Chain A
Amino acid sequence: MADRACIEARGLTVQRGQHVLLDQVSLALSGSQVVALLGPNGAGKSTLLKSMAGLLPFSGELRLDGREASQLGRAERARLVAYVPQHSALDAALPVRDVVAHGRFAHRDVWGRPDRRDDSAIERAMELTDTRRLAERSFNRLSYGERRLVLLARALATEARVLLLDEPTAALDVTHALALLHLLRDLASRGALVLVALHQLNEAAQASDRALLLSGGRLVAAGPAAEVISAEPVRRVYGVEIVPAAHFGFRMPAGKGTAP
């Protein structure tokens, strides 16, 4: 189980009209790692994540946890893959706990009754994301950073082995961004495959084991993060030079993993 690829894609292609958004992407990713999905704006990062989450039609082959994705029903797929979009459309006055409970939808029986396993998954997801303190608050009254954590908790409540996150640190302050990356590492250490689209290369270098570099819809580099985020590929795709020693960086104080 552990060595089987969580996600395996062959010749994954997404087209919108005549425009090719994703061009023949092939990859195989196993669990217990954070994989950074990199590339400039419009490179196809979100398209790749959405096609893996089953939200965009594609051609090519995609296997999730060894199973052909096109053969999976909606609920089955939701139990295997959780997706956190960059911008959530949710803006309702739902209590946070109910939002997190939505992650259990694919596990419910026909009558939709939650059971003990649902409750424990919800509690665990809220504990990992430090959102239990927000449980009774209305989702639409939370700050942007808090909303991102709640949406991550909703994804974790699915207990899916694959987590797809689209720019989770965008517009987060440094404290929340670091806490979130720390959490992603923690989830990977528990066996999850975390595929995360990131804009900040230094964040990716710090938080990921492997990296995929996209450019113009094509996968141009894949491998250990240190190799992909290195001078040559970065210059080729982004057209910038890497400055070896940053003047300063940030990290959480020792023993602290969550934002205040």
Chain B
Amino acid sequence: MKIVLTYAVLLALLVGAVALALLVGHGSLADPTLRSTLLGLRATRVGAALLAGAALATGGAVVQGVFRDPLVSPSILGTTAGASLGGQLAMLALVAGSPLANLAVSAEMVLPLGCLLGAGLSLAIVLTFCRERTGTLTLILTGFILSSLFLALSSFITSLAQDSWDMSRAVVSFTLGGVGGVSTRQLFAALPLVGIGIVACWLWSDTLDLLLSGEDEASSLGVEVGRARRWAVTWVAVLAAAAIAVGGNVGFVGLIVPHTLRPLVGVRHRRLIPACALLGGAFLVACDVIARVFPSRSELPLGVITGIIGAPVFLILLARSQRGVSHG
């Protein structure tokens, strides 16, 4: 009964956040000539925030299970930075004058692909360096170093892109994270990736639960551990890539959301993953509302808001973990 109530509350939060996001913002819905345009624009933003939030939160729950560490998330492990770098490289590859620009491929398709390659590469590096008995510190440090490396490479790309003002602006806005410039075509390219990614992770819930016992025990109970880890990491890469492709580099969602939910729905992934998808979506939609209504000269980047909320939460969790609070 408690679990049904929790899902109902999460669903209500999501619906509330979506309604708020559609109603609030610059421009008045009272004007009939503007109404449909405004609603259309806002709906695309809301869709993008919802998809990115759901994907990142689910990805967070899965990597925390695979690494048996509640302090990791796609952003902490450098996955989002990798996806972001991949996305930038894809943008650069399409810039006029590059050999790829002549190919008849649309940016909507190339951007997620670049993100996917970047996310996959960064997760593969983490998996190679951090085996079973790797401590939290090594995981976080590996993620930090990867993020730094990808950030440095991103800056390099940004400087390369400065020849074209439009391009450099697009690269910077993509790096900071935001769902402002998302097109419906981008949204529809990301939708199946997020949907399939979440369902795939959910179908592997039991295996993820068993991995909480560590490689040896899971293996002795019948789990093909190597295959399970590769499979989980592939889907996390898909989710992170889709999220970054529509939301830019948004951090900490995958850390905060699963943490908030475990005391409410438990640590079993079969319950945790759908709850993460709901709350992750609601959280990022709400963050996007703040980004839009916050009084500033230009719109606040989404990644800035999730960072301001997420970083202190992460520090609190880290402090708690030092005092021996275990997974869940």
Contact = CB atoms under 8 A, between A and B. Distances in A.
A177 B252 CA distance: 46
Nearest to A91: B326
Interface string A45-69: 0000010011100000000000000
Interface centre among A77, A81, A85, A91 (most CB of B within 10 A): A91
B145 to A, nearest CB: 26
Interface in A129-171: 138, 140, 154, 158
Contact of B220 (A54, A92, A93, A95): A54
A93 B262 contact: yes
A78 B205 CA distance: 19
Contact of A74 (B68, B203, B223, B327): B223
Interface centre among B206, B207, B220, B221 (most CB of A within 10 A): B220
B220 A140 contact: no
B209 A75 contact: no
B227 to A, nearest CB: 9
Given A88-B213, A92-B267, A74 B224 contact: yes
A94 B209 contact: yes
A119 interface: no
Interface SS majority for chain A: mixed
A90 interface: yes
A185 interface: no
A93 B267 contact: yes
Contacts of B27: none
Interface residues of B, number: 25
A83 B220 contact: yes
A50 to B, nearest CB: 7
Interface residues of A, number: 32
A77 B222 contact: yes
Interface in B304-328: 326-328
Contacts of B210: 102, 105
Contacts of B224: 74
Interface string A96-131: 001000110110100010000000000000000000
B245 to A, nearest CB: 31
Contacts of B216: 50, 55, 85, 89
Nearest to B325: A140
B209 A74 contact: no
Contacts of B221: 78, 102-103, 105-106, 154, 158
B266 interface: yes
